[in-house]
Amino acid sequence: MSGPKKRAIRPNLGSSLRPRSKTPRKHALVTGVTREEYQQILQYCLNNKISVSQFLAELVLEDATKPKSDRKEKVVIKAEFELTPEQQEKLELLAKLHKKGTISELIHELLMPNLDLERLHGSLETTTLRYYLSKEEHEIVTKHIASKGISARKYAAMLALKAISQERKKLK
């Protein structure tokens, strides 16, 4: 016989449920998260009194139905890393040899081909989270994710962690 079962945590206890869709939400998609990421997502859902499925489904649907013009705006990324003075000189020389005005332009040129080709795979130990969608929602989301070139298993987790990070920034 097995021991006493652990009581399930219901993040949406006492909160309103998602609005009904035209068809039942029978289509499930999954995402993989690490234990730490799962704890962050669960805590967010507990704080906001929503289920994990509702949180993930709403994020993915919102992203999939966002106007295309919102996705075309550029984002500036500033990377910092340490080099020795000799390495910095070599990097500046490489930039000149590649006819780039700055080291940033050189790094951008070197990085972009890999970013365009690279599929995001990893060997992290993950926990599977499911989120449920109606047939119509599922079609919208799967087409959107396929156009991104990111595995569906990683996409919802990426959106969730980004939303949690933005929420934390707002609270500070």
Give the whole-angstrom CA distance, residue 110 versus residue 13: 50
Residue 33 bridge partners (DSSP) = 127
User: Can you give the pLDDT at residue 43?
Assistant: 92
Q: Which has more pLDDT, 44 or 26?
A: 44
* Nearest 10 degrees: Cα torsion 139, 133, 43, 34: -50
Amino acid, single-letter form, for residue 82:
E
The pLDDT, as a whole number, for residue 55 is 92
- 3-state DSSP assignment of residue 32: strand
pLDDT score for 84: 93
* Tens-place pLDDT, residues 63-104: 988 887 656 677 788 888 898 999 989 988 888 888 988 888
Residues 49-62, mean pLDDT to the nearest whole number: 90
pTM: 0.64
Count Cβ atoms within 10 A of the Cβ of residue 100 and give its class: 0-12 exposed, 13-18 middle, 19 or more buried: middle
At residue 28 the predicted structure's pLDDT band, cuts being 50, 70 and 90, is confident
Name the residue type at position 147.
S
User: Where do the structural domains in the chain lie, given as residue ranges?
Assistant: 27-71+123-171
